[in-house]
Structure 1
Amino acid sequence: MVALLKVPMRLALLALLGLTVTARPATWSLATRGLVEDPTQDPFYQPPEGFENEAPGAILRTRNVISSFFGLIPNPVEAHQILYRTTAVDGSAISTVTTIFKPWVPKTDRFVSFHTAYDSASINCTPSYQYQLGTPQTSLIASVEMIIIEIYLAMGYIVASPDYEGPDAAFGPGHLEGMGVLDGMRAVSNYHKKLGLDSASPMIVGAGYSGGAIATGWAASLHPTYAPELNVKGWVAGGTPANLTGTLVFIDDTPFSGFIPAAIVGLSAPSAYGAELTPVIDSIITENGREKLDFAATQCAVADLVGFFDQSLFDTDIQTLGAGILQEPTIAKVLADNTMGVDPNDTPTVPMFMYHATQDEIIPYSDADVLVDTWCSRGASVKFTTLEAGGHATSEIIGLPDAISFVKTAFEGKTESGCSRDSKLTDSLNPLALGLNLEPLLVQLVHALTMLGDQDSEMAQNLSVLDKTVST
């Protein structure tokens, strides 16, 4: 954990040294809007009366913001935020925010939709809040992934990063997250004139890793039926949690079990499955279990990992059904509904690149492997790269050059149809993999993520130390 805490200073130095490869024009200036304590106190996040009557993706409110590196150093790019109308699991109207970053010399016919892995059921961890200057940086994952956004910006892409979990920070429900992504794309397209985009139908590529791949995978699945008018050219998903049940069982009673209470809170949110799931949870949860859920509802990912470190959901000290919780009818149905590839109608119709490490210690490789086979059997075009070395965090780096190459190829319309598979046998990365001009950014990303250690086991050790420190 000490290593993790060094990351903000490294990135602050990066920004101070001017290595962000985007220059600030003479007309650029800082806004003076004061930052509120959390999004619940910010009127911008509250939808106007009657917003339910607007179409999904409709713009409800806009503003300019100052984005930053780890809340400390202003990021000298133009940044906008849009409050837009999207859709809850039950089909009702909800609203959420997307943050748009515009480089100074943008490509005006396209944008990247980047789905950061905020992996939390707390509204304070939403990207739109964490990206702003002066925000307490409690969502470390989103902060680190800001460097990936910088890489896309350096390539001239406008980048939109939606709060795809919606107003309740519903972590886990794929349909809600997928619709949040697609409606965010609609909102950016509707905002095209302000952004200088050439048309209301710009080319789009969506990308996300880990928790962000839940949103990406479901957006790809729902695109043909929910938002077929969007000019999506491709999707990139790495470390994909294709099966929530498989992921739950895989990380239970491990250093990463802290994601489980956050997902329970997220799935039980009013905009997700709260009406069905909350009564069941209330009937089986113990006092200790309730404390764990209440904690997860207010914390970001790192704190969640510490708060439920090496604990098991199946412990009757947490809930009274023990191992039988997965067979409880309502819970079983919710988990089944959030398994990618179950419904044949939810099959991507534009090219997709997926990558996953066989030794991923958080998201099971086998579930992603099955999903690829399922989608390919239904006619999808998927390129799947298996990473034979490295763990979950390091794989985000190892797969990044291929992911960015795929984004470029998708925008050029040169992706191949059909399915293909390949493997990478190394966990090393050439710092020049993205080109000389992007080397500083890639090096900083490597520092931020690979310090987790071989197969990311060092992260588990650091969390163990921190857990003992907190407990004493």
Structure 2
Amino acid sequence: MRASALLVALTAWMAVTPMAVGVQLNTRISDPTVDPFYQGPSGFESKPPGTILRQRQINASFFGFIPNPVEAWQLLFRTTAINGSAIAGVTTVFKPAFPQKDRFVSFQTAYDSSSPTCDPSYTYQLGSPQTDLISSLEALILQVYLLKGYIVASTDYEGPDAAFSPGRLEGVGVLDGMRAVSNFYETLGFSTDQPDIVGVGYSGGAIATGWAASLHPTYAPELSIKGWVHGGTPSNLTGTMSHIDNTICSGFIPAAIDGLAKPSAYGAELHAFIDEVFTDEGKSILDYAGSHCAVITLFNFMDKSILSTDIQSLGSDFLYNPGVAAVLAKNIMGVNKTETPTAPAYVYHAANDEIIPYSNATETVKAWCENGANVKFTNFAAGGHVTTEIIAVPSAVEQVDNFFAGNLTTGCTSDEVLSDSLDPLALGLNLEPILAELLTALGNIGDNDSNLKSNASILKDIIS
């Protein structure tokens, strides 16, 4: 994404958004693995989920080097691991100059990494290293909601050890992050201690969003959730990993396996088994995925197969080993009736999605609908996985507005979008600079993600 074009968009943003007063420059930001802010204080385990354990004001940025002129806070909060033990999580809250005071957007960005160095709370800060194309693209989308006057919270939903892909852990992290933001209502200037919330996420962020929607009725029913918006949803990890093995996106698989085996996730069930069946080469790949961000991992594992016996001794049977299959089965959305969203949902997906199987997403929607959920589903017929995120921005934002306004339809409906274009004026003149920049990214990616699919060198050009 070109810095010159980005600066044009940011100039327009700064012209209408005054710099928050009293923000102190963070001159000594630290990696989450060594930053003491991320460590739960003594006795935090006894606190209720969502309790704020620490808080700090930060200097947020665009891509690490351009100040983002909003008030930004980070909250360390108590949340829960898969085994029920207490862990600490972090959410970053962005407050525009003239916010709506009774609501906020929970924005789950797709950081898709099992390394804590890639946590959004770190990469959002001024002076932080920027190593992720995905987060860079989504940083622009997050600004759309800020420009519309929404306070936005973005949680490190993978938890303290960056457990990428276990949906139940991520969904709980999102819900406890929402609780923490609601508990921070006085400092943020909310007019209520129960602000309305809409959850948003795409791709990896949709794992967290879809599972938060699923767990909301039983885990955090007190939250005033008005709706959920998620697309490109990896609702079935087995389907996704089988779909992308030995492709340009193979690198997501070792990151997901490493994430599933983290201590806060399913380490007790998987760690010893993985250590037994993975070869030295396979262990090296997992170690790499656990210490690098998504795009670099993708480059280093491009067009390779995790289902090869060079990587692990079970070959193609790995995903169906009883121990592995049992963990993967626990993370399929829509299986349990009690995990049906009670707030309305807008779900969208590309029919030609080359990363996340379309059929898995529609199976989840069907299950939710059969269990009484209110779901609008949109098929983006002309897009690929990445292009659809960009093309769908106006539709997603419109749905967020509708959910907050209470403009809802009951039951389940579906429609289809045939266009593969993005109108830079779709959300109004003040948002045109950001949508124009997204339009530039769309051109670089190519129709139906064609450039990403055909030539890795083009992907490198897009990143640079």
Q: 1:140 is matched with which residue: 128, 133, 143?
A: 133
Counterpart of 2:103 in structure 1 is: 110
Q: 1:230 is matched with which residue: 223, 235, 243?
A: 223
1:23 correspondence with 2:17: yes
Structure 1 residue 29: deviation in Å?
A: 4.9
Q: Which runs of 4+ in 1 moved over 4 A?
A: 464-467
- In structure 2, how many angstroms separate the alpha carbons of the residues matched to 1:231 and 1:303? 38
Normalised to the residue count of structure 1, the TM-score between the two structures is 0.95
Q: 2:180 is matched with which residue: 173, 180, 187?
A: 187
- In structure 2, how many angstroms separate the alpha carbons of the residues matched to 1:9 and 1:295? 33
Counterpart of 1:152 in structure 2 is: 145
- In structure 1, how many angstroms separate the alpha carbons of the residues matched to 2:457 and 2:449? 13
- In structure 2, how many angstroms separate the alpha carbons of the residues matched to 1:248 and 1:353? 24
Which amino acid counterpart does residue 128 of structure 2 have in structure 1? T
Q: For the Cα contact (< 8 Å) 2:25–2:59, is it kept in 1? A: no
Q: 1:368 is matched with which residue: 357, 361, 364?
A: 361
Alignment of 1:62-141 (within 5 A): 62-141=55-134
1:33 correspondence with 2:21: no
Structure 1 residue 20: deviation in Å?
A: 4.8
Structure 1 residue 141: deviation in Å?
A: 1.0
Per the alignment, in what secondary structure is the counterpart of residue 33 of structure 1?
A: coil
Counterpart of 2:382 in structure 1 is: 389
- Residues 118-156 of structure 1: per-residue CA shift (max 9 Å, x gap): 000010111000000010101221122111111101111
Which amino acid counterpart does residue 252 of structure 2 have in structure 1? F
Counterpart of 1:10 in structure 2 is: 5
- In structure 2, how many angstroms separate the alpha carbons of the residues matched to 1:261 and 1:434? 38
Stretches of structure 1 that go unaligned for 5 or more consecutive residues are 1-5, 468-472
Counterpart of 1:470 in structure 2 is: none
Deviates more, 1:427-436 or 1:160-169: 427-436
1:451 correspondence with 2:444: yes
Structure 1 residue 39: deviation in Å?
A: 1.0
Q: For the Cα contact (< 8 Å) 1:390–1:455, is it kept in 2? A: yes
- In structure 1, how many angstroms separate the alpha carbons of the residues matched to 2:457 and 2:271? 31
Query: What is the Cα-based RMSD across aligned positions, in Å?
Result: 1.4
Normalised to the residue count of structure 2, the TM-score between the two structures is 0.97
Deviates more, 1:141-150 or 1:268-277: 141-150
Structure 1 residue 35: deviation in Å?
A: 3.1
Counterpart of 1:411 in structure 2 is: 404
Q: For the Cα contact (< 8 Å) 1:265–1:297, is it kept in 2? A: yes
Counterpart of 1:3 in structure 2 is: none
Counterpart of 1:215 in structure 2 is: 208
Counterpart of 1:334 in structure 2 is: 327
Instruction: Call closer, same or farther: CA 1:290–1:340 in 2, change over 3 Å.
Output: same
- In structure 2, how many angstroms separate the alpha carbons of the residues matched to 1:21 and 1:48? 41
- In structure 2, how many angstroms separate the alpha carbons of the residues matched to 1:266 and 1:178? 15
Q: 2:290 is matched with which residue: 286, 290, 297?
A: 297
Which amino acid counterpart does residue 79 of structure 1 have in structure 2? A
Deviates more, 1:439-448 or 1:347-356: 439-448
Counterpart of 1:426 in structure 2 is: 419
Which amino acid counterpart does residue 242 of structure 2 have in structure 1? V
Per the alignment, in what secondary structure is the counterpart of residue 238 of structure 2?
A: helix
Instruction: Call closer, same or farther: CA 1:466–1:386 in 2, change over 3 Å.
Output: closer
Structure 1 residue 10: deviation in Å?
A: 3.1
Structure 1 residue 31: deviation in Å?
A: 1.5
Which amino acid counterpart does residue 6 of structure 2 have in structure 1? L
Which amino acid counterpart does residue 311 of structure 1 have in structure 2? K
Q: For the Cα contact (< 8 Å) 2:172–2:219, is it kept in 1? A: yes
Q: For the Cα contact (< 8 Å) 1:77–1:103, is it kept in 2? A: yes
- In structure 1, how many angstroms separate the alpha carbons of the residues matched to 2:459 and 2:211? 34
Deviates more, 1:440-449 or 1:376-385: 440-449
Q: For the Cα contact (< 8 Å) 1:406–1:415, is it kept in 2? A: no
Deviates more, 1:265-274 or 1:425-434: 425-434
Stretches of structure 2 that go unaligned for 5 or more consecutive residues are none
Which amino acid counterpart does residue 323 of structure 1 have in structure 2? S
Q: 2:316 is matched with which residue: 315, 323, 326?
A: 323
